[in-house]
A = this chain, B = another copy of it.
Amino acid sequence: MATELEELAGRLRRFGAEREWEKFHTPKNLAMALAGEAGELLAEFQWLTPGESQRPDPETLGRIRGELADVLNYLVQLADALEIDLMEAAYDKIDVSERRYASDIYRGSARKAPPLSP
């Protein structure tokens, strides 16, 4: 049975195939598209204070929702193109971070310990 993300990957595969866009969707290009959408996401937050970023006005929130969707869609297409299991990769990374950032040592401090980074 296909999981949630596999179903999304299937839908995106059909979407691209119907338009013969596969030639554009190399991993290199998808990584660029993903990063481009991440840049649009940044633009929504860049002049907000950290506090304001927690309560965006409805119009901004709607645009943020759209950017998150774009990031997810390109992410799923990229993982699909390289046959990477996204959920497995995500949990593997958390397992590593659990060991790397022992909760009793890193409590309340992120400076030297960028959460969940490589």
Contact = CB atoms under 8 A, between A and B. Distances in A.
B69 A92 contact: yes
How many protomers of this protein does the assembly include?
4
Contacts of A75: 68, 71-72, 75
Contacts of A42: 31-33, 35-36, 39, 42
A50 B27 CA distance: 7
A17 B92 CA distance: 19
A38 B40 contact: no
Given A28-B48, A40-B40, A64-B82, 10 more contacts: A4-B87, A15-B116, A19-B107, A29-B47, A31-B53, A32-B46, A33-B114, A35-B42, A39-B40, A47-B111
